[in-house]
Amino acid sequence: MIERAACAAVTWQLITGTTIDDSRAAIALADEHSGLFATAGLHPHSARFYSAALEAELRDLLAHEQIKAAGEMGLDFNRDFSPRPEQERAFEAQLALAAEYKLPVFLHERDAHERFLPILKSFRDTLPGAVVHCFTGSREALFAYLDLDCHIGITGWVCDERRGKSLAELLPNISDNRLLLETDAPYLLPRDLPQAPPKKRRNEPALLPWIGQRVAQLRGQETQQVAAMTYQNALTLFR
**Binding residue ranges for a divalent metal cation:** 72, 108, 133, 184
Contact 203, 182 (CB under 8 A): no
Binding site listing: 72, 108, 133, 184
Burial class (CB in 10 A: 0-12, 13-18, 19+), 9: exposed
DSSP state of 153: E
List of E strands, 42-150 = 67-76, 105-110, 130-132
Q: Give the residue from 13, 16, 34, 11 showing the smallest Cα distance to 26.
A: 16
Contact 224, 230 (CB under 8 A): no
Burial class (CB in 10 A: 0-12, 13-18, 19+), 128: middle
Contact 189, 203 (CB under 8 A): yes
Q: How far apart, in whole angstroms, are the C-alpha atoms of residue 185 and residue 164?
A: 17
3-class DSSP state for residue 90? helix
In the chain, the amino acid numbered 158 is: V
Q: What spatial distance separates the first Cα and last Cα of the chain, rounded to whole Å?
A: 24
Q: How far apart, in whole angstroms, are the C-alpha atoms of residue 96 and residue 198?
A: 39
